[in-house]
Amino acid sequence: MAKEGVFERILITGAGGLLGGSMAELLKRQGRSFVALDHRSCDITQPGDLERAFERHRPTLVLNCAAHAKVDRCEREPKQARAVNAQAVGSLAELAARFGVFLVHFSTDFVFDGRADKPYRPDDLANPLSVYGRTKLEGERLLGRSRLDRWLIVRTSGLFGRHGACFVATILAKAKAGRTIHVVNDQVTQPTYADDLSDATLRLTGLGKTGVWHLANVGPTDWHNFALSILHEYGIKADLRAVTTERWRQMRKDQAIRPFRSVLDCATSFEALGLPMRTWHEAIKDYRTLS
C-alpha cells in the first residue's frame, strides 16, 4: 500500500453486480489501476479462486462488492446466502491478512431490526430479522475477529444503480408494462445511489478510515413515496397502490421479514468526508440522465 491511503493495485470482487459495476466505472474514470472480477472469473465461495486472484494480481486494496443480496431468495437458500455473505468474507479476511491487503467489505441496514426511533449508529446493537441480515452480520463478525488489522465495513441501505437489478428499475419496468404496482408504505429506508456510495467509499479509504461506517444518501422515506418520486421524475403515470406490510405479506407469503425503520446515522461519515452525500432525490435525477 502506498502512503496516505493511495492504493496502487485495486481488486474488485463481485464486479458484475450493482455496486461492483459502479465501482469499476468510477475507478476507470479516475484513471486508476484495478482488476474487476465477476462471479465467473472468481467465485468468492471457492477459496482456491480467491487465492489464485490474490497470487496473480497482488492487490493492495480489495473491494468486496459480492453479495447474495436477494433478500427473499436468501430465505429459500440459507446455505448459499451464508457461503457468500459470511464464510467467503472470512476467507477474504484471512487472505488479506496473509498478503498485507486493506479489505473493504459492504454490509447492510438489515443487520438491525428497525425498532429504534432514531437512526442507527455503527456501534448500535444489531438484531437481524432475516437470513440475509443474519448472514451479512456473520460476515461482519468474521472479518472483525480475523487476523486482519486494516479493514473497513461500509453499511448502506436501499441500494439502486445502473449496473444491475434494483427497486428503481423494477418500478419503471412495471409502470411501462402497464402493471398495477403495490408498494409498502410503512417501511422506512434511506435510498442510496451506487455511484455515490462508490465515490464516498473511495474517499474514506483515501483518508485511511477503518472500522464500521454508515454511508447513505440523505433523507429517509418509505418505499411507496420512493416509488412515487421515481415515477414523478420520469413523468410516468402508473397504477401505484400503497399497502401495509401486513397486507403485502398476505399477498406474498414467501417474503422475508424486513425492518420497519432502518435509517442509518451517517453523521460521522459525513464529518470525515467534509460534506454530506447528496439527497436521494438528486441522485434519482442522475440515474435518469445516465441510464
What is the C-alpha separation between 156 and 69, in angstroms, rounded? 12
230 domain-assigned: no
Q: Which of 2-6, 79-83, 136-140, 169-173 has the lowest mean pLDDT?
A: 2-6
d(CA 143, CA 94) in angstroms, rounded, equals 9
Cβ distance 85 to 136 under 8 Å? yes
Q: Write out pLDDT tens, residues 7-29.
A: 679 999 999 999 999 999 999 99
Mean of the pLDDT values across residues 241-267?
A: 93
- Direct distance between the N- and C-terminal alpha carbons of the chain, in angstroms, rounded to an integer: 35
DSSP label at residue 108: E
Is the Cα dihedral 68, 184, 125, 270 positive or negative?
Answer: positive
Q: Please say if the pLDDT value at position 4 is more than 50.
A: no
Look at residue 275 in the predicted model and tell me its pLDDT: 85
Mean pLDDT of the chain: 94
The total number of structural domains that make up the chain:
1
1 is a domain residue? no
pLDDT mean over 122-133: 97
Total-model pTM: 0.95
What would the mean pLDDT of 26-42 be, rounded to a whole number?
94
| Residue 260, Cβ density class (10 Å: 0-12 exposed, 13-18 middle, ≥19 buried) | middle
Residue 278 CA: distances (Å) to CA of 67, 193, 200: 25, 10, 11
Give the span between the Cα atoms of 74 and 257, in whole angstroms: 11
Catalytic residue among 120, 132, 193, 234: 132
- How confident is the model at residue 253, as a pLDDT? 82
Q: Residue 291 — very low, low, confident or very high, per pLDDT cuts 50/70/90?
A: confident
- The residue-averaged pLDDT of 245-252 equals 89
- Check whether 1 has a pLDDT greater than 60: no
240: in domain: no
Task: Note the pLDDT tens digit of each residue in 190-214.
Answer: 999 999 999 999 999 999 999 999 9
| Structural domain boundaries, residue 197 | 7-222+255-290
Question: Is 105 strand, coil or helix?
Answer: strand
Position 3 scores a pLDDT of 40
193 a catalytic residue: no
Please report, for the domain that includes residue 44, its CATH number.
Answer: 3.40.50.720
φ, ψ (nearest 5 deg) of residue 174? -65, -40
| Model confidence pLDDT, tens digit, residues 79-101 | 999 999 999 999 999 999 999 99
| pLDDT at residue 6 greater than cutoff 90 | no
DSSP state of 150: S
Whether residue 113 is predicted with pLDDT greater than 80 in this model: the reply is: yes
Q: What is the mean pLDDT of residues 132-151?
A: 97
Does 15 reside within a domain? yes
User: What percent of the chain is helix, strand and coil (3-state, nearest 5)?
Assistant: 45, 15, 40
Does residue 139 carry a pLDDT above 80? yes
Q: Is residue 49 part of a domain?
A: yes
Q: Report the distance separating Cα 149 and Cα 92, nearest Å.
A: 13
> With contact defined as beta carbons under 8 Å apart, do 171 and 209 qualify?
no
Mean pLDDT of 145-150: 95
Specify if 275 maps to a domain: yes
247 located within any domain: no
Residue 30 lies in a domain: yes
